[in-house]
Structure 1
Amino acid sequence: MDFEFKNENNQRAVLLLHGMTGSPFEMKQYGKNLHRAGFDVYCPCLPGHGKDLLNVKKIKWQDWFNFAEKKYNELKQSYSEVYLGGICMGAVLALAISEKHKDVSGIIAISTTLFLDGWTIPWYSFLFPLGLHTILRFYYSFPEQEPYGIKNETVRRKISALLKENTVALNYIPMTCVYELLEMSKQVRKYIKDINQPILIMHSNRDDLTSLKSADFVYKHISSSIKDYIILKNSYHLITMDNDKDFAVQKSVEFLNSISILNNSRIEQVC
């Protein structure tokens, strides 16, 4: 499920990180378009996902972090500029890595999930802590259901068919995954003021999983001097596959190129 799109002698790479119980599939077309714009693109399948889906309940958020951090360090050996981009949990992960690694060139945070408060979250969500912080979390799962993070009905039907096969994502969300995501989100919220890299934040005001509260929090508390915040209006959670996907690519390429030019001008001034 991993994908890589590379050019010869390129010095600019983007490491993409997919969402919770998802796969690189949800970012593949987005990644192809970044590649066409002149960036090498890498999107690995996170631990507990892909062919390893059945083991996802055993995974800790530190496993996701360590895996993604290793991929980042590998890319730093070959590229002068390495950007991080993530959707959902992947955006939280990108922020966590950027807090530790100040040489991250820039961040693209899509549908950042610091809080689970979207419009499809059940009314009884106030009871979640009873399950999340007890042994119950190892036995309970939430079934995936429409709209699957997709507003576009044609794409939604395709996703629905694929979910039945468990090929591109789980058709349920283990409570253990929710617990680990929220634990990682807690750490990111705690240290977000230590993150100062350029960032592009994109979030839909119709996100079914996480409201604008998450994106607002990032924009308000991050210490980046360069930070762009775009609110989309024609998608749900999976922006990279939904109605706003082309616009998201356009703004991402503009952001990456602007930061790349800025980085190169700084290098020239030093020389």
Structure 2
Amino acid sequence: MATPSTTVRPDAAPFVHDGDGPVGFLLSHGFTGSSASMRPWGLHLAEQGHTVRIPRLPGHGTSWQDLNRTPWQAWYEEVDKALDELRERCDRVVAGGLSMGGCLALRLAEQRPGDIDAVIVVNPAVASKRLDLKFVPVLQHVVPSLPGIGNDIKKPGIDEYSYDRLPLKALTSMTRMWSDVRANLSSVTAPLLFFRSAEDHVVDPLSRELILAGVSSQTVEDVTLDNSYHVATLDYDAPLIFERTDAFVARHVLGSARA
């Protein structure tokens, strides 16, 4: 049997840009995805003069078998390390993410509130109404993977370069991270910009309900994306995400002093 590849695909490589402004952005991709899903957002922010980091989460961009050997703590350690780097370079830091990446951004805001000046999430996942998820902890010992969940994009011809299989051990680990993040949502006090696609075939509305009800942020902007599916950062509404990000940061990050 051939050994699964651990070579990182070029389209999944981390994105690094050092800007000349005071704000740094840490953007995290989603489960089984890659930095390609965040690159247009990162490029836009770089053009505005911001410092940007889009890490490659461990187990991603290589093979789904590799991801199946990677616990959620490794994903969090990667974004935590990137936050350390940004705090050394930038006066203020914004944590953002898509899907599971949004969950990681929220955890950073929970664990390190003094280091996060704002949180921007796109279709974040912290829970699911899917009843079959209850069986995954058992099913993972029977089959290693199921068909993939990637490329839920309305715009034709776009590829987020995700795995075509859903690794079940990694999925089980992610649901444990969800529980951890849900239990600490009240610790999130940073301004929050929340993007939610009206039609999302991957993350159901439960996550939005729990996050908006759970955080302690005084400033919350809830934006509906009417012309995108789950991977909205690559979809028709991507320009709206970029525009609202700029306005939100101008008002709530650049326009206010750190506490």
Q: TM-score normalised to the size of structure 2?
A: 0.88
Superposed displacement of residue 31, structure 1: 0.9
Q: Over aligned residue pairs, what C-alpha RMSD do you find?
A: 1.9
Which of 121, 126, 146 in structure 2 is aligned with 1:114? 126
Contact 1:61 1:181 (C-alpha < 8 Å) held by counterparts: yes
CA distance in 1 between counterparts of 2:67 and 2:174 reads 12
Which of 150, 153, 174 in structure 1 is aligned with 2:156? 153
% same residue: 24
1:107-149 Cα deviation digits (max 9, x unpaired): 00111012234xxxxxxx534323x22363573312126x821
Which of 8, 18, 23 in structure 2 is aligned with 1:6? 18
Superposed displacement of residue 242, structure 1: 0.6
State the AA in 2 paired with 1:153. P
Superposed displacement of residue 53, structure 1: 4.8
State the AA in 1 paired with 2:253. S
Which of 22, 26, 29 in structure 2 is aligned with 1:18? 29
| 1:134-173 matches, cutoff 5 A | 134=138, 136-137=140-141, 139-144=143-148, 148-155=151-158, 159=159, 168-173=161-166
Which of 126, 130, 144 in structure 1 is aligned with 2:131? 126
Say whether 1:63 aligns with 2:74. yes
User: Do the aligned partners of residues 64 and 234 (structure 1) sit closer, same or farther apart at CA in structure 2, a change above 3 Å counting?
Assistant: same
State the AA in 2 paired with 1:154. G
State the AA in 1 paired with 2:118. G
Say whether 1:51 aligns with 2:62. yes
CA distance in 1 between counterparts of 2:221 and 2:32 reads 28
Say whether 1:209 aligns with 2:202. yes
1:154-177 Cα deviation digits (max 9, x unpaired): 32xxx2xx8xxxxx3211111122
CA distance in 2 between counterparts of 1:238 and 1:177 reads 20
Say whether 1:177 aligns with 2:170. yes
Paired residue for 2:52? 41
1:169-215 Cα deviation digits (max 9, x unpaired): 21111112221221111111111011111110001120111122212
State the AA in 1 paired with 2:170. C
Contact 1:151 1:242 (C-alpha < 8 Å) held by counterparts: yes
Superposed displacement of residue 52, structure 1: 6.0
Which is richer in helix? 1
Contact 2:17 2:52 (C-alpha < 8 Å) held by counterparts: yes
Contact 1:202 1:215 (C-alpha < 8 Å) held by counterparts: no
User: Do the aligned partners of residues 114 and 51 (structure 1) sit closer, same or farther apart at CA in structure 2, a change above 3 Å counting?
Assistant: same
Contact 2:151 2:162 (C-alpha < 8 Å) held by counterparts: no
Say whether 1:250 aligns with 2:243. yes
Paired residue for 1:32? 43
Superposed displacement of residue 23, structure 1: 0.7
CA distance in 1 between counterparts of 2:93 and 2:178 reads 23
CA distance in 2 between counterparts of 1:212 and 1:135 reads 25
Paired residue for 1:191? 184
Paired residue for 1:105? 117
Contact 2:37 2:233 (C-alpha < 8 Å) held by counterparts: yes
Moved more, 49-58 or 211-220: 49-58
- Give the number of equivalent residue pairs: 246
User: Do the aligned partners of residues 234 and 56 (structure 1) sit closer, same or farther apart at CA in structure 2, a change above 3 Å counting?
Assistant: same
Contact 2:140 2:169 (C-alpha < 8 Å) held by counterparts: no
Contact 1:81 1:105 (C-alpha < 8 Å) held by counterparts: yes
Residue ranges of structure 1 left out of the alignment (5+ in a row) = 118-124, 163-167
Residue ranges of structure 2 left out of the alignment (5+ in a row) = 1-12
Q: TM-score normalised to the size of structure 1?
A: 0.85
Superposed displacement of residue 49, structure 1: 0.9
User: Do the aligned partners of residues 260 and 136 (structure 1) sit closer, same or farther apart at CA in structure 2, a change above 3 Å counting?
Assistant: closer
Superposed displacement of residue 54, structure 1: 3.6
Contact 1:205 1:211 (C-alpha < 8 Å) held by counterparts: no
CA distance in 1 between counterparts of 2:157 and 2:242 reads 20
